Structures are given as structure tokens and as C-alpha cells.
Structure 1
Amino acid sequence: MNKKTLLRLYVLLFFLICLLFPSQVFGAEGLYITVDGRLINADVAPYIDSQNRTIVPIRFIGEELGYSFNWDVTSKEVTVNGNGAMIRLWIGQKAAEVNGMIAEMDTTAVISQGRAMVPLRFILESMGVQVSYDEKNSAVNILRASTDENNQESSFEDKILVINSPKVNVRSGPGTNYSVLFQAVLGDKFIISGINQDWYQVALGDGNSGWLYESTVDLVDAGQLVNEGAQETARETTLVISEDVVNIRTGPGVNYAKLDTTKKGDSFQILSQKDDWYEIALTGNRSGWVAGWLVSLHSDSSVASRTEEPGEHRESPETNEPMWTEPVQISEIKVDTANGGVLLDIAGSQKIIYAISNLDQPKRIVLDLYNCILNTGDQGDGTIVVDHDLVKSMRFAQYDARQVRIVLDLNASAGLNLVSSAEGDSKLAFAVAEPSLAGKTIVIDAGHGGQDPGAIGPSGLYEKDVTLKIALKLAEKLQNKGVNAVLTRSDDTYVSLEGRAAVANNINADLFVSIHMNASTSSTPNGTAVYYYGVNGQGDVRKKLASSVLEELVQRIQRKSNGVLEENFAVLRLTLVPSILVETAFISNNEEEKLLAQDYFQEEAAEGILKGLEGYFLH
């Protein structure tokens, strides 16, 4: 072969290589890269691979774009950190990780000229950086987020994303090729943490993030949302403490001072949210902050009973209030310690309706006299020093227009028992004694009954039948403890809501406990909740009672705690004595319906409620 022929072969081979691998032949001049309009020269030439993806040396990511990176020669692993994203990929593998979530690439990282070369678009778009390719000029253009008024991310600082479709996929990355983390539903709200072309990155509240497509959400002004939606959020969502002990802080972060502590099962109204922290309403018109990862949120639809009894009308709190006759004139309140004990004597003009409450921090007993007016002459409102081992002092006053309140400030745990009544219950004598369940009068209300079956489970189990069985078992257990247990119904009959409350009011019961099963239109919700309603100045004591019963009940039946919740149920609104409503479990849930039908589970539920009632009186 002569030299001329050989030269022709070399030229033909050169053009063939140029045709197949133009970027490797022409280097950086074959593919241009600009960053924010500035032309960049790489020490190892970037190129377009067979998948039409731009491949660049990993050092370019760090030196030209300012992101931190690491290249592990042994494991062939590349790690890149920037813009709130941590990306891991491996030489020769299409699988990658973005913030701990698996993502699939359509190309791979490679080793070229001793350098780790990585897919440019995949890395930068995972960080929310815009990348475009100008085919005409063979140029890759990178537009990073600026720090001026054009910064898209900063322009969304005051915006909230609201889901505008029935169900929306939240993905692990900015594209439909990324895995689905979960489905958001209509009305769900998210805080924006980043943006990548048509995708929003959102904070998920557990240290991770997800991505939402722009057409599935609406941008809402955060200030407007707080101003117009705070009451709605508080009304529709309840925050329940999910850990044993949780600090309440003065601000949204662990660096803020501890204001108070709360415990598992306690529930609060939400006032606002900042990042992963919730501002909650506390007593005394105060507020505090708790960490979002230590709580669970429950909408009314997932925890509130869907089996209203006839005449419930929870939306009308002022209806069916007790109708009082002429007010009782309280003419005397006195304390006697002559015989070593503490006796409290009260005299009125006619029958006195009352309720006794036990409170903590500090320990005290509250005696409320209803439809009563103080008419004690020179005695007036006042404080009486008792100076006894159990009682420190006694205070009394006109609590409101028709309610007199007597408070016994205690030196130790104690109970208050009625020891005598005379002249048609217009003269009452109470003794302060060691705390005990024995001697108390507790009304047990089996929900629904008769023509009202309550909720019906998937297999046909009636709520009214389960509530009665648990109520009967609880009554027997209480009687064995020396309690006067009174049932609102002992068979399959119907009692009106007003009639149920009247049973407790008319006999001056110590407590009222209504037993129910929860239900939902979905078979998914499950767990146990205890409700109270803060009327008659009994908010704290009713919440204490509900907390005690929930703690023991959940421990006994081993179901999920949905918390202590406040709700305007009629039987709670109309009872003058401390009262609670127990939603034992979800009869609409297949697993829990099967449990509710079992005698042993009903026994455990009754035992759990009993233990909770004991805890209320003894601690």
C-alpha cells in the first residue's frame, strides 16, 4: 500500500471518528457550556452521550457551580450537595438517590480520562437549577437562582401551596419518572422549599421533601391564609401529642425557652404553623409551640363520631340548656373541724343541685351549686382558713348569675362525700376524706338504643348492642368497688339525649360516662378517643377525667390513641356534673369491628374505663 492510499485511509478514519464522537475530537469547542451567560471551559471536555445527555466532569460541579462534592474511588460513588439537595450516584448505574429517595436516570455516570463524569441535567435539575440545550449552537445553558428580585424561590417565601384536585401524587423528584411518596388530597397545604421549572419542592414536616406539579396546586398568600383560615384550621384539625412527654416552648424551635410540658394523648387547638412547629392554644389565653414530629393531626372527619343520635345538633350549643326554676337562696356555708375531720354544711331555700370536681396543680376540690344565689348576709363572699391536715382553706363566691362555687384548697389528695341531706335536699352536709372510688355515684350511658342502632359495622354489628354490653360490664365492676352505678338504659330501649343528662343531674351524680363506637365512611380510620366539653366552668376537670380514662383504656385494649378531644356533644353540654364520651374503637374498621364483637375485648374496655375513673379520683 503506497503512502497516498494510506493517507486517504487515515483521513477517512478521522472523519468517521468525528462523525461518531464529535465532542471527544473537538473538546470543549464541540460543546459549549454557559453558567448565567458566562462561557465555561472544563479541563476535561464535556460531551453529549448516546442517550443525548450532557456528561461533565464532577469537578465542574464544584469549581464552576460552587456545590460541594465527593468522589469515592473505591466504591465508585459520587455525592453532590447543594440547594438543599443531597444526590448520590454510582459509576455505571442508572439508579441514584435524591434526598434518600430512589430515582432512575436514563443514562449513567462514567470514568473518562481518569475523571468521574456525571449527567449534568439530572444533578442540576434535582437541585432546582434550570438547564436548557441550544441545539443550533451546541450550547448547554445553566441558569442558577439569583439573589435579587428575579430569584424565584425568594418570590415564593410568602406563598402556600394548596392542592386543587381530589388526589395528587407527591413525588420524590421533579418529574413523573420519580417514585410516588403518597397522595395528597383536595385542600392539603404545603410550604414551598424549592422550584424546578414546572415542579414545586415542598417540605413534608419529617425532614424530607416532595415534589408537586404546578397544575395540581394553587398558590395562596400565606398572610391571607393565616388571617382567613386560622379559625377554620383550628376548627377542622386537632393536634394530639404522640410522645410520652413533650416540651411546650415559647417559640418555633428547640432554642426557645421551655414554657410547659404536656403528655401523650393531650389534644390542643392549632393557632398557626411555622415550618415543622405548631402554635397551640393554652389555658389563660396563652399559647405555646410544639414540634411537629412529636404530634399527630386529626381532622374532625377522622376522629369525630359520624353516628349522631337523634336531636344531637352539635352546631347549636345554646339549645336545650337547662331550664331553671326560681333560684335557690344559699343562706349558709360553714366549715366544722371540731371532731378532727372536716365537715362542710350548706343551707338553701330549696333543693340544691350540685357537682363535685377534683383538680390538680394545685390540688383542690370544687363544689358547684347550680341555680343558686349567695344570700349569706354578713358572710358574703369570703375565705375561711381551715388549717387541717387535708384542707388548707375554703373559698366561696358567686361564680356567675346562677352558679355558686365553693373551693377547698387541699394540703393532700382528698375527696368530698355527701354524708347527709335534709329538708328535701335543701340542707347538705359533706365530709372531706381520703380519696376513694367507693361511695361515688357514677352514671353510665350506653349510647343509642331502641329504634336508634347507631353505626353498623361491615358484618352487621350494631353499635347500640356493643355499647350496652360494655356499659353493663362496667356497671358490675364499679358496684364491686362500692360505687353506686346508675345506667341510663339497661336494655334495648331508647332514651333521649336530654333524658340521659337528666339522670345524672337529678341525682347529683359524681360523674357521667357515655359509651360509644366511632365510625367513618372509610374503613381505614381506627383507634380510641375520649371527648369532653368545657361548660359550667369544668373545662379543666373534664379534660383531666378524659385524659385519665383514655390513658388506661388505650393501655388495656391496645388500640391507637386518637387523643383527648373537645366536642359539643349534647350529652356533654347538658350534664351539670363532670362528663366524658368514650369512642371505644371504630366499628367501621374491619379489624376493630371483630374485636368489638368479642366478649373478652368488651371486658378489657370496661376494665380500662374503670381504671381511668379510679385514677381520676385517687390522683
Structure 2
Amino acid sequence: MQMKKIVLLLLVFCLTDVLLIHERVVTAERVVIIDEPINVRSGPGVNNTIIGQVYMDDEYEKVTQKGNWIKIRYNGEAGWIHANYVTTVEAASSFNETAFVRVNGLNIRSKPTTSASILGQLNKGTKVQTITEQNNWVKISFQQKEGWIAKEYLQHNSGEPATAQQATKKGTITVQTPILNVRSEANMQSNTLAQVNQGDSFSYYQQVNGWYEIELPNGVKGWVANWLVSTQHASQQINGLITLLHDGTNIRQGPSTNSSIVGTGAQGEQYEVVHQENGWYEIEYNGATAYVADWIVTQDQNVYNEQASRQVGLQNKTIVIDPGHGGRDVGTTSTSGMYEKYLTLETAQRLEDKLELAGANVFLTRDDDSYITLSSRALLANIRSADAFLSLHYNSFPQSPDANGIGTFYYNEQHKAFAETMQRAMIEATGLNDRQTKRGDFHVIRENQQQALLLELGFLSNEKEAYYVQTNEYQEKIIRGITAGLIQHFSY
């Protein structure tokens, strides 16, 4: 009898070990979520309890699969999700080697997919340390940061690494607008690598189609619009014409803003260039020579044609800010009891200060806790002939307390591009979930004759997000994002 017990125990142990080995083999795979939000359940079926939600591009360890349901490791415990909403990827294999970049402008991404955000760029010949490999992507370490790059653009120690290009610095640019996007390519459609602030200065290496290639402090190179920066060049002889971008451009006796003004020029006027030095063009003027600042002219006729009818940035723009709700209309209420009406007013007042610093003329539909009708809010924008109207709100959906993120609503189809610019800038600045842009039938934007949007700046029904959006950190980020969106909209 004792011998039978021992044999039985050994058999159970062996079977258990086989099962554990099988599970370890299964966990060599991972799943990536391809829709959102997706419910995580306690068991394999829709009748099981929902224990949480997962979102687009989230990645989890796959434990096993039962029919159309996949078991994952979720917050330290087991959870089940439907297989229709995931894609399976190979687990990353670890290795540690030195490699060299084979191309210029190689994107570093936050995850091993082309849909992930871009963290920066690498140029040909750059040396990196590899960490793991997954589905033709390699995770690298570079300048104390980690990210993913496409494997095909790496060259390992087995070959001769490419020689890094030694670019020549051609001068320095200084940012002339409160917030400026640094982009991966010399156009407005490319990805934003970083944002820099007014007064920041950077070396630049080349100028292409009205854009400067600059180098950021982390060594990453990107592109900025030349009409939003001032430039200091190495002294050089230069031939050709420059075109004035603005009416009333000062023409000076010497290469300094302290120098005497000898005349003014009108937008579109052209002058022959004699010399260029330290951010100034010496031009032929009335039979002699004079100077004009290079940040208010262009040598590229295409740039002039694009900008001739547009004013850069927020200077003299009229912006109407509408703090949602007020008075007896408290709006939604956070889990801690914060009324939406107070938070929208705080955000609006902060935004007013920021926009005025950028040169805008700002009007609030209310500047205290008072009740204002919806028609009066839209009417103010129409009376002021506002260049833009922004109605500020915070969202709520108690039925789904995990709902989160920022969304932008437009009513008129011609305002969709404006909405997309604003949405993109706010997400970039805050890092919150992107709920994208949608058409919304709201009175304040429907009855508005101006460019009008309604912004939902976070969820007060989500306990975690409600706490965060009230912090000074978040308020500064969202104000920076809204300001950047407006500047981008009016500058390009």
C-alpha cells in the first residue's frame, strides 16, 4: 500500500511538472491589444465578472488559451480577454551587443510598432547598445534612454560600422514663439520629436525649404520652421534677393536693433543682398547699403508665397475662452466633490494669461462664478469677430469609472482640421489618453459663426484622473498644449 502511494505521488508530480512546462512554453508569447477599451474578465466567457479594462497597444504576457479566450497576466493576477481584440507576438529574446545605425533619421519608438510614439532619431554611424529583440524590432539603450528601432537598419559587430557623418554647424537659431515643435522632417505633416520654448537657442546644420535642421541637447536632430526663429550665421558673402514678410519692416543703418531706422519696407518688397552676418542681411537701399533682420525676411520665394497672406502665431489674434458652466449650473462633480464650473474657470484664467503673453487679445465669457446663457457665450465670439472660440469642459461618465482622456468637438466640417491640430497638441503636452476629435451638436459651437471648438480636458468621474487634472502640473501642461495648438493653427 505504501509503495502504491509513492508511485501515485510521483505520477502526480510528473504530470504537474509537464503542465508547468507547457505553461512556460505558452508564456513565451505575448499579446498586444488592438482595440479599446477591452474588458478583462475573471474567466473565459462574457458571463464572467469584469475585473478591469485594457487599451490599444498595451502588451501582456499570454499564459494560455481556451477557445476564443486568452488568459493573460493582468495586474499580478490572471485575467481573460477575447482573442478578437489582440494580436500575438513573439516574446523578446535578450541579447547585449554593440550595433551601429545604417541610415540617417532612424526613428526611435516607445514600442516595437510603427504606430508607437517617436522618442527621437538616430543618424548613420551612431553606436547603440542592444537589449532585446522582438518581431524584427530591437530595443536599444542610447544616451541613458531606451527605445525600439527597426532591426533592418542596424549593423552589428560582424561588419565594419558606418562612419558617422560629421555635419558642419552653420550657425545658431533662437526660438521666437512661446512653444515651437521640433519635427522629424522639414514639413508640417511629420512627427513632433520635442517642443522647445521661447528664448532657447540651438545649433543648426542646414536649411531646406524654409526649415532649419537643429540639434537638441540629447543629440537628436530635428527640424523647425525658419519663420518662428531668429538666426545667427557665420559671416558670409551671399548673393541674391531677400523678400520682406511683413508690412512696416524696419530697415536700419547697422546690424542691430539699437541702430537707427533709415526706412521701412512693405510685405513682398525685394532687395539685393550684399552680405550676411550674425542674423542680419546687408542690402542695397536707396543707392547705399542698409540692414534688415534675417528672421523677418526670406530668400525662398515659396516660403513667401505660403506666408504672404498669413500672420505668424497669436500676435493680435482675438481669442474667446468660454469656461463651461457657472453659477447655478455646476456642471459635473468629481468623486471628491469638485464642481466642474470651478475647474473650467481656473483653467480659463490661466490660459488667458498665457495667450496674452503670446500677443493675443483674450476675452472670457465669464471671469467669476456667474451663470451665463449658452446663447450669450456664442454671441460674444460673434460680436468680437473672434479668430477662435474655445469652450472648456471636463468630462464625466459614471457608468464607466475607468473612462479617461481628452477629446475635442467641432460642429462645422471646415473646423475639423483646427480640431485635429488642437487635439494633437493637447495630447502631446499632457500624455493623456487620446479620445480623438468628433463632430458635436453643442449650442456654443453650433450657433457660433467663428472657428469654434469644445474641449473636454479630462474625466472627473475617473477618481485618479480627477485628482490629476486639478494639480498645478496638469494645469500647466494643458495650458501649454492649448497654446501650442493655437500657435500651430495660426502659424502654418
- TM-score, reference length from structure 1: 0.36
Q: Compute the TM-score of the two structures, normalised by the length of structure 2.
A: 0.44
